[in-house]
Amino acid sequence: MHKHHSALGVATALKPAAPVTLIRPDAAARAARFFVEKFPGRSLYAVKANPSPDLIRTLYAAGITHFDVASIAEVRLVADSLAAMGAQAKLCFMHPVKAEEAIAEAYHRYGVRTFSLDSMDELEKIMRATGDATDLELCVRLRVSSEHSELSLASKFGAEPGETRELLMATRQAADALGICFHVGSQAMSPQAYSDAIERVRAAIVEAAVTVDIIDVGGGFPSVYPGMEPVALEHYFEAIHRGFESLPVSYSSELWCEPGRALSAEYSSVVVRVERRRGNELYINDGAYGALFDAAHLGWRFPVELLRDEAGIEPMEGFAFYGPTCDDMDHMVGPFMLPADVQAGDYIEIGMLGAYGAAMRTGFNGFTSDATIEVEDEPMASLYTESVTPRRRATIIKLGK
């Protein structure tokens, strides 16, 4: 893999004709160390956010030794990625609806013992696939509100209040260790999301009168984007710790979380070239079918920066992007704030794409890029430092404590 000092250096020295993904392993390692040192329990990396083998190895080396996997392909990926460095992690199969064949392969071939479920059907499936194993950690997923999060995960998975008593009691009988898990939604903007969900857990435990060994608060931990600047992650951890300590569980019960975005967002960005300007619309060479799926389909605003040797004095304006494909849906409304004189031939860095950017990339219409360069400069924003000094005039983001 090529290495370079900075995003600006990549643009000015290489002048790439196709999008280039920039990775920052130090930023990912810093995020991992933050969770390992400050979260009051065990952190599992949610592989779906970015399934890069290099990132998986970086996180493992920084102390993330447990992984939340959602498919048998992710089970194989993590196992193979870590085998290359002679390491082995604990894999937790946390998708609540799995193919029976996937459960069997995960259990018998890869030694997976932790599975989630949200129905009696899934519990029975897990028991069949594992041969009624007696060494399982089974986590019952509860449905909780996503009202404090930018992206809801409240409709597809999770046992409803009227279903949890029977399900928890049956799972307790089958499991060596019983867990309760939930997911408050992606990009949770308030610690209250976790406090409210933990109250739902409390009610379920009291109703079922079961001994619980694991409380898994799931993912949803945020990163930093324009218009979405969360409070410090320590506030989330404090709210979770207070809630966990108040639950009717034994002193030996474990606390888990499943950060995905929070561990991977700062890991990578993408450098794109402007191919055409039409008023305040820029045609760029990546888009909805590449790393900018969320910008197109969810209206997500990513930080952007014009990559020029010398900063000008142009005022900032809001721009929309069109991607390179022939599809009208390849459109990112933004607004993305850039100097008013941006023009065809300019390069732009689009930041905080380590979460879901690479994971969602396709080759539709023949537009794709496998070019990846490791850089040494800081990400465009960070939750793991008090502030990020702007690399150039175009982006200034200061974060409060």
Confidence of residue 146 (pLDDT cuts 50, 70, 90): confident
The pLDDT of residue 395 is above 50: no
> Rounded to whole angstroms, what are the CA distances from 256 to 206, 217, 261, 342, 378?
20, 6, 16, 46, 29
pLDDT at 1: 65
Q: How far apart are CA 397 and CA 380, in angstroms?
A: 8
pLDDT at 250: 87
Which sequence spans correspond to the domains of the chain?
Answer: 2-22+266-398, 25-264
Answer whether 269's CB lies under 8 Å from 7's CB.
yes
Q: How far apart are CA 298 and CA 333, in angstroms?
A: 10
Strands, E assignment, 171-294: 177-181, 186-188, 214-216, 254-257, 268-278, 281-284
Strands, E assignment, 42-190: 42-46, 66-69, 90-93, 114-117, 137-141, 149-151, 177-181, 186-188
pLDDT at 399: 33
pLDDT at 107: 98
Mean pLDDT of 109-127: 97
pLDDT at 128: 98
Residues 6+ away with beta carbon under 8 Å from 284: 272, 273, 274, 275, 321, 322, 323, 324, 348
pLDDT at 387: 46
Q: How far apart are CA 115 and CA 92, in angstroms?
A: 6
Q: How far apart are CA 335 and CA 322, in angstroms?
A: 12
Task: Give the distance, in angstroms, between the CA of residue 333 and the centroid of all CA atoms in the same chain.
Answer: 23
Decide: helix, strand or coil at residue 72.
helix
Q: How far apart are CA 362 and CA 358, in angstroms?
A: 9
pLDDT at 84: 84
Mean pLDDT of 376-401: 59
* Helix or strand run (H / E) with residue 264: helix 261-264
Burial 88-122 (b: 16+ CB within 10 A, else e): ebebbbbbbebeeebbbbbbeebebbbbbbbbeeb
Positions marked catalytic: 326
Strands, E assignment, 134-176: 137-141, 149-151
pLDDT at 310: 75
Confidence of residue 154 (pLDDT cuts 50, 70, 90): confident
Confidence of residue 397 (pLDDT cuts 50, 70, 90): very low
What fold characterizes domain 2-22+266-398? Answer: Lyase, Ornithine Decarboxylase; Chain A, domain 1 (2.40.37)
The pLDDT of residue 391 is above 50: no
CB atoms within 10 A of CB 192: 14
Model confidence pLDDT, tens digit, residues 186-234: 999 999 999 999 999 999 999 999 999 999 999 999 999 999 999 999 9
Mean pLDDT of 255-268: 97
More confident residue, 310 or 235: 235
- From the candidate CATH numbers 3.20.20.10, 3.40.50.1100, 3.30.230.10, 1.20.120.530, the one assigned to the domain spanning 25-264: 3.20.20.10
Model confidence pLDDT, tens digit, residues 305-337: 999 887 667 899 999 999 999 998 999 999 999
Model confidence pLDDT, tens digit, residues 45-89: 999 999 999 999 999 999 999 999 999 999 999 999 999 889 889
Mean pLDDT of 393-399: 34
pLDDT at 374: 94
Model confidence pLDDT, tens digit, residues 326-374: 998 999 999 999 999 999 999 999 999 999 998 888 888 888 887 999 9
Percent of the chain with pLDDT over 70: 95
The pLDDT of residue 398 is above 90: no
The residues facing 225 across adjacent strands are: 228
Decide: helix, strand or coil at residue 287.
coil
